[in-house]
Amino acid sequence: MRIGMPLEYSGGFLETVDDLVEYEAAGLQIVFVPEAYSFDAVSQLGFIAARTSTVEIASGILQLYTRTPTLTAMTAAGLDHVSGGRFTLGIGASGPQVVEGFHGVPYEAPLGRTREIIEICRRVWRRERLEFDGRHYQIPLPPGRGTGLGKPLRLINHPVREHIPIMLAAIGQKNVALAAELADAWEPLFYVPEQADAVWGDALARGAAARSPALPRLDVVAGAHLAIGEDVEELLDVPRRQLALYVGGMGAKGRNFYHDLAVRYGYEREAAVVQDHYLAGRKEEAAAAVPTDLVRATSLIGTREHVAERLRVLAASGVTTLNLTPVAPDRGRRVHDIATVRGLVELTGR
């Protein structure tokens, strides 16, 4: 398993980048930069590319609706260029709360748009003269939709790679099937390895059946908060609060994909309580209502022996990349925890 880490968008970015040399030495192999209603990810990814030499970089994720498909392709090619071929394009639909609430763009047809964006990006990177007549994107614009003066063009620059890896963030059944069919990597959120096959197995199988043999094996990217030690139980509150935010607050009732995932995991009653509290502004009560076994199942917080066992379970379920968020209170321990995980992965040969 590759060892990765997200760089938080809420603060401390510059300080974390300064520490990347130590994280690289500890075994970090890839960093993910998210983009919500925050600073954009692209400028930060470029900054990381300039400050590092070996660690891979990935957007985690760019939202489908905030850039045209060709701009997404150009951006990925540019980041791959400045990083010397170290970039992975992570994309995802996000949700209506962010897309409509912050960007003012209709949240429409995420599956169809994803499929078309992936195809357009790959054509751009191959430097094909771009002509695309899709349901959601037409390039150039057909007569009646513009001036009629648009001509098919190809990317001026020669990309470092004509196949830049694409990671698709997905938890819905159809979107997961799409990831297994078209993407190089799949990033689920709140991944419970013991239940992954029951929740996503059929979707992954449907997508794999349609997957091109030219594509590599699907890279499964699972995130988890990380803290290793005999005295780290209180740090479970960090993933507990995140679960409360997503299950309770990332969307209205009936339009919250993370709430739906908790239900599929078997927590229908608990998810309803978390959502009721969160939407009413009772965030502490929402966090308290998150089941502890769900917090433990989606994190790597505990003794070295506990973490080693969870790594074995994650690997057995098909995870090939870890996106770890170290939550120890000081930098030295956070770096040490990354090094410990790298050592445990190498020890087990996973």
Question: Which of 32-41, 85-94, 101-110, 341-350 has the weakest average pLDDT?
Answer: 341-350
Residue 350 has pLDDT above 70, yes or no: no
Q: How many Å apart are CA 312 and CA 314, to the nearest integer?
A: 5
3-class DSSP state of 227:
strand
Average pLDDT rounded to a whole number, residues 334-341: 98
For the cut 90, the answer to whether the pLDDT of residue 244 exceeds it is yes
Copy the structure tokens of residue 220.
Answer: 């499964």
Instruction: Specify the pLDDT at position 347.
Output: 86
**In terms of pLDDT, which residue wins out, 16 or 164?**
164
Residue 83, Cβ density class (10 Å: 0-12 exposed, 13-18 middle, ≥19 buried): buried
Mean residue pLDDT across the chain: 96
Alpha helical stretches, state H, 27-68? 41-51
Least Cα distance to 191 among 346, 35, 22, 318 occurs for 318
Q: What is the pLDDT of residue 13?
A: 85
Three-class SS state of 94: coil
Q: Cβ neighbours of residue 104 under 8 Å, at least 6 residues apart?
A: none
Sequential DSSP letters for 111-176: HHHHHHHHHHHHHHHTT----EE-SS-EESPPTTSS-S-------SS--S-SS--EEEE--SHHHH
* The pLDDT value given to residue 218: 98
Predicted pLDDT at 279: 97
Q: What Rg do the C-alpha atoms of the chain give, in angstroms?
A: 20
Rounded to a whole number of angstroms, the distance between the first and last alpha carbons of the chain is 6
Q: What is the mean pLDDT of residues 113-131?
A: 98
Domain ranges (residues) in the chain: 2-221+321-348, 231-302
Question: What mean pLDDT is predicted for residues 157-164?
Answer: 98
Question: Residues 59-83: pLDDT tens digits?
Answer: 999 999 999 999 999 999 999 999 9
**Tens of pLDDT along 314-327?**
999 999 999 999 99
DSSP structure class, residue 83: T
For residue 6, what pLDDT is reported?
Answer: 95
Q: In this predicted structure, what is the pLDDT of residue 38?
A: 87
**Confidence check: pLDDT of 86 > 90:** yes
pLDDT at 287 over 70: yes
Q: What CATH architecture does domain 2-221+321-348 belong to?
A: Alpha-Beta Barrel (3.20)
Confidence of residue 23 (pLDDT cuts 50, 70, 90): very high
pLDDT in tens, 4-18: 999 976 667 888 899
Instruction: Look at residue 109 in the predicted model and tell me its pLDDT.
Output: 97
Find out whether 264 and 339 touch, Cβ atoms under 8 Å.
Answer: no
pTM: 0.96
